[in-house]
Amino acid sequence: MSVTIAEVARIAGVSKSTISRYLNGLYDHMSIETKERIAQVIAELDYRPNALARSLKQKRTHTVGAIVANILNPFSTSVIRGIEDTLKAAGFNLILCNADDDPAKERDYVNMLVDKQIDGLIINTTGCNNELIAQVNKNIPVILIDRKAPDIDIDTVTVDSAQGVCQAVDHIVELGHKHIAMLTLPYDHVSPRIERVQAYQTALAGHGLAFREDWLVQTSADEQEVLAKLKALLAGGAGKDRPTCLFCANNMITMSVVKAIKKMSLTIPGEIAVLGFDDWEWAQLIDPPVTVVAQPVYDMGNKAAALLIKRMKGGRTLKKPIVILFEPQLLKRKSCGE
């Protein structure tokens, strides 16, 4: 009688999904002890995966997984809508997961989706699980959205962040601002955040403006944290010791900054100008409407899903990864003194 995967899992003291991931080479985050124990049990039992069962399991499920960094971000809402509309029109179902910017949670979701035999994956990754994502991409197509991973060959759909930041800085300098601070989420591993910070420094230099480390503020989007850091940033008084314009690196930061400024009883743009990267519904409705660098988010979702469908339907023969770079658009409103 042939040995089953359930028996291997029982003797090794792990789950069947762990054995499945081991057999598919998705074990970069398994402990050495676990891998060695599984290998030993497989050898002792002379386990051979049932080829017919594996072929049946690997049959298409017409299901795609999508992992977003933060479901509360309006960016995620719009991009998922674009993905879902395109997948539904092509007859695919969608499983949506929210990683909360947590690499461990993201890794668990990737493994879970692989266990569910998805046909493809679209991921707005934390940037901390590239090795695992590269392994998955060997078996099923993966599309990165709003992220880049230059260390792995993988299809990518994103926006030209550097161009958007340059447009923003050019605009506020033209309006007379020379003291420009930037607020951003922590950016150690997240490619668009890194690109925006680098582009901010480059754009300042291009206008002959000095970069000040204390004016590059890393913060969460939590309103109380933003309020505290904004008070500290603006405590320098006037002139060169105080920025006249705040450039916010994404819409979550922008929303919290606008709320904080109002709590501080400052006027926009009279006492402090505000400009954000990413548009959202209320940006043009609040007083004053906020100037933003907009991304074609829905279109990015459409394109990511269309590219994934192409790969799932036989486009895996194309060896070179495809990189689709959308152009941002500066939407001038009134928060910078236009």
Domain boundaries, the chain: 5-56, 60-159+297-327, 161-294
Other C-beta atoms closer than 10 Å to the C-beta of 252 total 22
Tokens coding 175? 């309006």
| DSSP string for 201-232 | HHHHHHTTPPP-GGGEEE--S-HHHHHHHHHH
* Third-level CATH fold of 5-56: 434 Repressor (Amino-terminal Domain) (1.10.260)
Q: Give the C-alpha separation, 73 to 252, whole Å.
A: 6
Three-state SS string over 20-42 comes to HHHHCCCCCCCCHHHHHHHHHHH
Q: What pLDDT, on a 0 to 100 scale, did the predictor assign at position 54?
A: 52
Q: What pLDDT, on a 0 to 100 scale, did the predictor assign at position 22?
A: 82
CATH number of 60-159+297-327: 3.40.50.2300
Q: What pLDDT, on a 0 to 100 scale, did the predictor assign at position 187?
A: 84
**Neighbouring residues of 325: CB distance < 8 A, sequence distance ≥ 6:** 158, 159, 160
Cβ contact 304:76 at 8 Å? no
Q: What pLDDT, on a 0 to 100 scale, did the predictor assign at position 52?
A: 42
> What are the tens digits of pLDDT across the range 205-233?
999 999 999 999 999 999 999 999 999 99
Q: What pLDDT, on a 0 to 100 scale, did the predictor assign at position 16?
A: 86
Q: What pLDDT, on a 0 to 100 scale, did the predictor assign at position 46?
A: 81
Q: Does this chain's domain 5-56 share its CATH topology with 161-294? A: no
Q: What pLDDT, on a 0 to 100 scale, did the predictor assign at position 116?
A: 87
Q: Which residues of the chain have pLDDT under 70?
A: 1, 49-59, 236-240, 315-319
Does residue 249 sit in helix, strand or coil? coil
Q: What pLDDT, on a 0 to 100 scale, did the predictor assign at position 58?
A: 54
Q: What pLDDT, on a 0 to 100 scale, did the predictor assign at position 338?
A: 85
Give this prediction's pTM.
0.82
Is cis: bond before 74, omega within 30 of 0?
no
* Third-level CATH fold of 161-294: Rossmann fold (3.40.50)
